[in-house]
Each structure stands twice: as structure tokens, then as C-alpha cells.
Structure 1
């Protein structure tokens, strides 16, 4: 990602009914009442690592909760 690239997260209705998104919606609504600070910067490498780690944890949780999956035996 190039320096000074602006990343904007936008809430959409498309995730309705997916487990865990109710909490995300609740947190997003709370964030609307927070004061914004434009002076804080996050390095793309830091953000990328956090997102990757979080996604891996979500995948692992889903995998651990799988039942009747013959691949668990491997």
C-alpha cells in the first residue's frame, strides 16, 4: 500500500445473519459516538499482520468447531 493511502471501513447490510457480526455491529455503532482523530497513523505492515492473525484465529475456531469432518482424522 502506498504511503498516505486512506483506508475507510464502511458498514454494509450484506453480512446480516452471519455469526459474530451482531457484536461487530454493536461495536461499530459505539464507534460512531467516538471522537475522530485524523493525526493517528497505522503502518500497513502492522495492520496487515493484525488482520492476518485475526483471520487465522477465526479460521482455526471454525475448524475446531467442525463436526463430522473426515479431515479431522488426518
Structure 2
């Protein structure tokens, strides 16, 4: 290497301050923890909790989409859209 060459190393924190990435980091930590309390969870019970949590996260993200025309039509993702017999939105 030429002695006149200057090398600068810069550390860039990839996950710091990015909410989605920080959530993934927390989830990865949880996956590495051993659960040994002797309790078993029925998948159908866990699925309800997981789906509810994911719906809440999705709604929270959707609430930030205030400039989206679809958000004006359907601000609450859980509510069904109502149509009349001519397939027009009520």
C-alpha cells in the first residue's frame, strides 16, 4: 500500500433508531432464551394472541397513512366495507 494512502474506518449503526429493526433485534433475543417452565401452550390459543398483536401493529402503521385515499375510505382495518346491491360503497 502506498504510504500516502489514507484509510478511514467509520462505524455505522445499522439498527439504532430504526423502530422496525429494533423490534427484530428484540425478537431475536427472545428466540435465543430458553423456556423451561414446564408449561405447554396450545397452538390455537397462541395463534389468536399472535394474530391480535399483528393486527394491532398493522393498524398502528395504517394510522400513519393519513394522505392515502384508501385510508380515507377504510381507516379501521377490522371494519368491513359495506356495499349496496349495485356494488357501490356505502
Q: Same fold (TM over 0.5)?
A: yes
1:12-40 CA distance string (max 9 Å, x none):
xxxx86743313413533664x5531622
The number of aligned residues is: 58
TM-score normalised per structure 2 = 0.48
Aligned equivalents of 2:46, 2:30: Cα separation in 1: 21
Q: Report the equivalent of 1:69.
A: 68
Distance 1:50 1:30, change over 3 A: closer
Q: Report the equivalent of 2:6.
A: none
Q: Which has the higher contact order (CA 8 A, sep 6+)?
A: 1
User: Cα offset for 1:68?
Assistant: 1.7
Q: Report the equivalent of 2:22.
A: 22
Unaligned segments of structure 2, at least 5 residues: 1-13, 74-90
Written as runs of structure 1 = structure 2, the 5 A alignment for 1:28-47 is 28-29=28-29, 32=32, 34-37=33-36, 39-47=38-46
- The runs of 4+ residues in structure 1 deviating greater than 3 Å are 16-19
More helix by share: 1
Unaligned segments of structure 1, at least 5 residues: 1-15
User: Cα offset for 1:45?
Assistant: 1.2
Aligned equivalents of 1:53, 1:35: Cα separation in 2: 24
